[in-house]
Amino acid sequence: MAVEAFDVVDLIHTKRDHGALTAAQIDWLVDAYTRGYVADEQMAAMTMAIFLNGMERDEIRDLTLAMIASGETLSFDGLGKITTDKHSTGGVGDKITLPLAPLVASFGVAVPQLSGRGLGHTGGTLDKLESIPGWRAALSNDEFYAQLRSVGAVICAAGTGLAPADGKLYSLRDITGTVEAIPLIASSIMSKKIAEGTASLVLDVKFGSGAFMKDPARSRELAETMVRLGTDAGVKTVALLTNMNVPLGLTIGNANEVRESVEVLAGGGPADVVELTLALAREMLALAGQPDADVETALADGRAMDTWRSMISAQGGDPDAALPSPRESQPVLAERDGVLVAQEALPFGIAAWRLGAGRARKQDPVHHAAGIDLLAKPGDTVVKGQPLFIMHTDEPARFDRAIEALTGAYRIGAVGDPVENGGPLVAGRVG
């Protein structure tokens, strides 16, 4: 039996006592955990020590590199196109990837968007797209590269070969209360994105009620950490800090978010979804060498819609097919005249989850027709009896628990009362 280079208990003591791990220690730790030598309970102790005491910049870099080294990496050197990608830290009603990828690809760059599924109150891009009849998330490497060459945009599931250490570590963090640790979030996201091989990356780092990072200062710290990791690895990286105090757009769910995304691609859609789509597209195209790209025109003249239809068709989907409709719907009415002054993102995300739009465990099924359609946003004038939002589900027994989640989540005030929306949608830029 081979002698191990380090003793994991010694490394736990080092982090517990505010010390720093060397690159060799981190490399060994990640490898030993991936192959099962380090037990889950030992790595749980390590992640809690990191959560409580943090990591130095070199440690975060070395952790990221060790997770990349645990699996395969992709390369787009022979693609013949410049690559650029985007990652969002997740929120409520965040369907931006759907209109964004085809919009950016319509300018001749390649967008290799490896996406995930939702868990808890945050929706998953793959769950939304699977509302489209026939669409499939799993592509072979040959299909992946062929679609990038022909269409320019791919949104699909990441293979298990990319940063497998991160997949194992994320599952552990999810059940040990250490998801929010900035060193662990940053290394998790950036290990996969760097392994993916994109030349440039734009990060949408959210803060507020519906985000993992509630505090804007913590959101900025996370953004700065990830931008440094990307830059150090040779990936041109910038981040936008965006507001997730209020749900994004007018839909929360799966099929309804696809409908809203198509509206944006058709030149319409809610103003906030359009604003963030255009802001991220400008950043992605600037990093790809097109700082003067006219993204507004590409939405208006149908180029982005054409790319969307090609992207969906290439993955077996029918862009003209009817999307799932809910079996049951229930409106919630305004109890008085006035102005909608508050609409908190997190409770609406939880309510949509309870209606069946999300999952509590990775193996749970998603109800694609479930969700919430918002009929008013903060600042809108409303009258008594007017529907404020409509809940959708396939199982009417879910309505009561969804309503429970929304207690105090929205408020109607008098004309002139301050509106609680947390400020501008794009609150800052890093990089």
The residue from 70, 188, 200, 261 that is catalytic is 188
Q: Are 121 and 353 in contact (CB under 8 A)?
A: yes
The residue from 15, 61, 121, 192 that is catalytic is 192
- Side chain identity at residue 6, one-letter code: F
Q: How far is CA 371 from the centre of its chain?
A: 18
Q: Are 298 and 274 in contact (CB under 8 A)?
A: no
How is residue 152 written in tokens? Answer: 């320019």
Separation between Cα atoms, residue 379 and residue 371, nearest integer Å: 23
Beta strands per DSSP E along 116-178: 153-157
Q: Is 377 a catalytic residue?
A: no
How is residue 407 written in tokens? Answer: 């207690």
Q: Is 173 a catalytic residue?
A: yes
Strand bridging mode 236-243 / 200-207: parallel
Q: Is 166 a catalytic residue?
A: yes
The residue from 27, 127, 166, 373 that is catalytic is 166
The residue from 173, 354, 367, 398 that is catalytic is 173
Separation between Cα atoms, residue 278 and residue 366, nearest integer Å: 29
The residue from 15, 61, 86, 87 that is catalytic is 87
**CA atoms within 13 Å, Cβ hemisphere of 256:** 25
3-state SS class at 387: strand
Q: Is 77 a catalytic residue?
A: no
Label residue 376 left, alpha or beta by phi (over 0 means left) and psi (-120 to 50 means alpha). Answer: beta
Distances (CA, A) of 157 to 34, 140, 144, 162, 223: 21, 10, 10, 11, 24
Backbone φ and ψ of 343, nearest 5°: -155, 90
Q: For residues 319-350, b (16+ Cβ closer than 10 Å) or e, as one string?
A: beeeebebebebebebeeebbbbbbbbbbbbb
Rounded (5°) CA angle 185-207-16: 35
Q: Biggest alpha carbon distance in the chain? A: 75
Locate all alpha helices (DSSP H) within 197-268, ordered by sequence: 216-232, 255-265
Q: Is 394 a catalytic residue?
A: no
Separation between Cα atoms, residue 87 and residue 242, nearest integer Å: 12
Residues with catalytic function: 87, 166, 173, 188, 192
